[in-house]
Amino acid sequence: MTNTEHSWTQAGHGSRESVEPAPTTTAIAAGIQLPAGFAAIAGDPDLGPAIMTSMARVEKRLREAISNSDPLADATSRHLVEAGGKRIRPLLTLLCSHLGDWTRPEVLQAAAVVELTHLATLYHDDVMDSAPYRRGAPTAHEVWGNTVAILTGDLIFARASILVSELGGRALSIQARTFERLCLGQLHETVGPREDQDPVEHYLSVLADKTGSLIAASGQLGAIFSGAPDEFEHVLVKYGENVGVAFQLADDVIDVTGGKGTSGKSAGTDLREGVPTLPVLLLRRAADGGDESAREVLRLIDGDLSSDEALAEAVEALSAHPVTTESWAAAREWAGAAKAALAPLPEGVVKQSLAAFADAVVEREA
């Protein structure tokens, strides 16, 4: 059986008949917009078309992988895929594969695996966060309830596991260890730091697990299955870990500086939900150290934020406090570490694009 010929029927797999034919790869590629930081790809006459075509093939493979003969499972599984998304993780897999032989079919399969894994976590995260919207659409638990949403996340991860098992033991090991870290990151975020643990260090470790691990695996798998030089694998893992933390830290600051950025959240969402992001953790550290201005802002943050007026006042106060600037500096430091990790890679559009993406994740202040 080839990688594109799956027999899903035992577990209800398989596409339901559709009244409309599936779009062609060319049509999908024409509609793809690369995320910020990847402009150099589109401008390259060789890399651009290759990446766009590969992204379109991954998109088709995602839809094939989640299709189900059961109407409910099919609808719930398609929910987030059809809502769109930037597809950053599969893009990184495809981009890094150009450090080797990007035409190997395993590359496309690996790219689909990382995005399916990401999608599975989103179903679970939205339930835990009671999030009403994701990518502009009502979340699955809002439409079908928590139980169905959780089971859909499990189902999508099962599909990812089937695909990765076909790639061999090494890919399966990377996938399993990455998913372990995703779960541990969520668990540690939920229970909080130990009494003897610094809250900021705890938080950074959570981000490394919840966000950095899968981004790192994305680039790593692209290198492995393209047959890129072995030494590039470690480079891409280090890059992915750092850029993932930078990405999430930037989202933290965007929450208190206004604008939805790429997080899709309105300003103050994390404050209202009591999420301990870096600006708040640094604020508490400053208050514990005797900073009276930090204590005044904390009184607002720890107060009743149910009204829009109270939330706006807390957002404005935190945004104006020096800890917000300090948080931006921390995000840029992690992005800088990601760029520094790229030093061993050969000069070219791949390295340039990875560096530009690291810059882009911390330039989302609008």
Question: 332, 246 in Cβ contact below 8 A?
Answer: yes
55-83 pLDDT, tens digit each: 999 999 999 999 887 899 899 988 888 88
DSSP letters, 46-96, are THHHHHHHHHHHHHHHHHHHH-BSSHHHHHHHHHHHHH----HHHHHHHHH
> Per-residue pLDDT tens for 233-285?
999 999 999 999 999 999 889 888 765 444 455 688 889 888 889 999 999 99
Only one residue has tokens 């149910």, namely: 306
Q: Which of 87, 344, 110 is nearest to 232 (CA)?
A: 344
Cβ neighbours around 8 below 10 Å, total: 16
Residues 6+ apart with CB under 8 A from 192: 199, 202, 276
Copy the structure tokens of residue 40: 């150099």
Beta carbons of 233 and 223 less than 8 angstroms apart: yes
Q: For residue 285, give the DSSP letter.
A: H
Distance CA 309, CA 32 (A): 39
CA distance 123 to 151: 9
Strand partners, 13: 68
Please tell me whether residue 145 adopts helix, strand or coil conformation.
coil
The pLDDT, as a whole number, for residue 145 is 87
- DSSP code of residue 265: -
Q: Dump pLDDT digits (tens) for 90-129.
A: 999 999 999 999 999 999 999 999 999 999 999 988 888 7
Residue ranges with strand state E in 88-241: 133-134, 137-138
Which one, of 257, 357, 254, lies nearest residue 315 by Cα? 257
pLDDT of 309 strictly over 60: yes
Pairing state between β 137-138 and 133-134: antiparallel
pLDDT at 3 over 70: no
Q: Whole-angstrom Cα distance, residue 87 to residue 33?
A: 10
- Higher pLDDT residue, 34 or 53? 53
